């Protein structure tokens, strides 16, 4: 059974002079009163008594009192918790009369239950982490989130590269008349080289004519001595002259023009190939992008599946991108009553043995919302001790000048439409 507060006595704590309180076992027990009368001081007294010295008020002694604070709380498990004396010494006595200490209290008293504003003022991500820790999914969701972030970053990088490739390809010119592959100039170059070689041979033949003619002239001078040689040389000279007479040099201008034309064609071919390659690379990257998109969606679906299958402390509660949501609404879009309901459900789940929560400043709720919230707590078997700036009939007790006075109903509540809502008491 979850531990609840069955009775409270507080004297000389902050603004409290003397207050006795027997809260309802479940549902809301509303402490009402005007401002600065000691309502919140009652909650501070409970926090200090059960939460330890770390929750001790900065100025616990009531102004003007010569008597130190006295705090006494009886819990549903039979434990009595007291603080008294100048040093406000803690005394814990279990149901068997054995003495204990703060360590025992910490086993069933949830710190957030004592200090709900601390939980509610935490960031949405901190609330989300708390919820995930409660349902045992914090590590799994964090890993999925990390994997999803990596997939998102990878996809973004791939998309950027693909976009750049695509833009680069589109900027390149395209030549529809160019062949698909570069044209080879090898044959033309071979022909060119053959012609140049032949022309060189022709030139050597012409030069040989000159040499022979010079030799002929020289030998003519030596004709007497070299008659036979002269005749032979003359014969060779005649032969060489005949060979050279019909020679015709061939031009390479057309071949050079054809080679240049091939170079121009090949440049177009290379440009077209670059364009196709860039587009192919862009297509591959976009395909990778789609794969990463699918992976990202699978990770998100796995996260949603884990949350849907988890035993959540409140129907409609979830986590979306490390943001706490309730019925699809993020924290800052929830009503004040929904925020309290969500916070209460999570805090209760943190330590199911703690059956109570302290709630301050419920004047933010209208009476209808207050009634519905109290009915929900009662249905959940939760005990809520709350404060509200009011002296109306929704209040269980009224604090005036640090003392509890009788509460007189100031309204006739309208019936709640729909299913019956449990009553809170004779006055409400």
Domains detected in the chain:
5-109+351-405 (3.40.50.300)
Strand partners, 93: 80, 99
Residue 279 CB burial class (10 angstroms; 0-12, 13-18, ≥19): middle
Nearest to 358 by CA among 148, 182, 155, 119: 119
pLDDT band at 28 (very low <50, low <70, confident <90, very high): very high
CA 288, 292, 297, 299 torsion-angle sign = positive
Count H helices, E strands: the chain? 11, 14
pLDDT band at 418 (very low <50, low <70, confident <90, very high): very low
Question: How do residues 235-274 score in pLDDT, each as one tens digit?
Answer: 778 777 777 777 777 788 888 888 888 888 888 888 888 8
Cα→Cα distances 36→162, 258, 388, 390, 401, Å: 66, 103, 12, 12, 8
| pLDDT confidence band for 50 (50 / 70 / 90) | very high
The distance from CA 49 to its chain's CA centroid, rounded to whole angstroms, is: 41
End-to-end CA distance of the chain: 28
Please state which of the ranges 24-38, 220-234, 319-333 shows the lowest mean pLDDT.
220-234
Q: Distance of CA 388 to CAs 44, 350, 367, 394, Å? A: 15, 26, 11, 9
Q: Where are the beta strands (DSSP E) in 344-382?
A: 356-359
Which 3 state secondary structure label does DSSP give 167?
helix
**What's the pLDDT band for 226 if we cut at 50, 70, 90?**
low
Q: Does the pLDDT of residue 296 top 90, yes or no?
A: no
């Amino acid at each position: 059974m979850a531990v609840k507060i069955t009775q409270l006595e507080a004297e000389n704590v902050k603004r409290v002079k003397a207050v006795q309180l027997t809260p309802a076992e479940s549902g809301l027990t509303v402490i009402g009163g005007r401002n600065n009368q000691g309502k919140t001081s009652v909650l501070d007294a409970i926090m200090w008594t059960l939460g330890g010295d770390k929750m001790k008020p900065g100025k616990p002694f009531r102004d003007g009192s010569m008597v130190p604070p006295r705090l006494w709380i009886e819990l549903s498990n039979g434990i009595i918790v007291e603080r008294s004396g100048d040093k406000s010494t803690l005394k814990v006595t279990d149901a068997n009369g054995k003495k204990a200490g703060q360590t025992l209290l910490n086993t069933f008293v949830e710190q957030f239950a004592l200090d709900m504003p601390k939980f509610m003022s935490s960031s949405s991500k901190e609330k989300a982490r708390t919820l995930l820790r409660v349902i045992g999914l914090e590590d799994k969701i964090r890993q999925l989130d990390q994997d999803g972030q990596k997939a998102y970053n990878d996809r973004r990088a791939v998309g950027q590269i693909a976009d750049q490739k695509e833009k680069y390809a589109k900027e390149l010119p395209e030549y529809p008349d160019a062949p698909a592959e570069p044209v080879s100039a090898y044959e033309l170059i071979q022909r060119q080289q053959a012609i140049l070689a032949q022309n060189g041979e022709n030139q050597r033949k012409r030069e040989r004519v000159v040499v022979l003619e010079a030799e002929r002239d020289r030998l003519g001078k030596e004709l007497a001595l070299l008659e036979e040689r002269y005749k032979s040389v003359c014969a060779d000279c005649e032969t060489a002259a005949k060979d050279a007479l019909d020679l015709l040099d061939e031009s390479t201008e057309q071949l050079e023009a054809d080679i240049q034309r091939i170079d121009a064609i090949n440049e177009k071919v290379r440009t077209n190939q670059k364009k196709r390659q860039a587009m192919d690379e862009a297509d591959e990257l976009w395909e990778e992008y789609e794969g990463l998109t699918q992976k990202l969606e699978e990770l998100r679906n796995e996260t949603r599946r884990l949350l849907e299958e988890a035993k959540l402390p409140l129907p409609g509660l979830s986590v979306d991108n490390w943001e706490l949501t309730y019925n699809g609404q993020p924290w800052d879009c929830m009503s004040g009553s929904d925020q309290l309901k969500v916070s209460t459900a999570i805090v209760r789940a943190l330590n199911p043995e703690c059956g109570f929560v302290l709630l301050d400043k419920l004047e933010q709720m209208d009476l209808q919302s207050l009634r519905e919230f109290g009915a929900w707590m009662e249905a959940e078997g939760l005990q809520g001790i709350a404060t509200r700036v009011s002296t109306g009939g929704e209040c269980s007790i009224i604090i005036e000048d640090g003392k509890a006075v009788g509460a007189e109903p100031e309204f006739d509540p309208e019936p709640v439409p729909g299913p019956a809502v449990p009553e809170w008491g004779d006055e409400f």
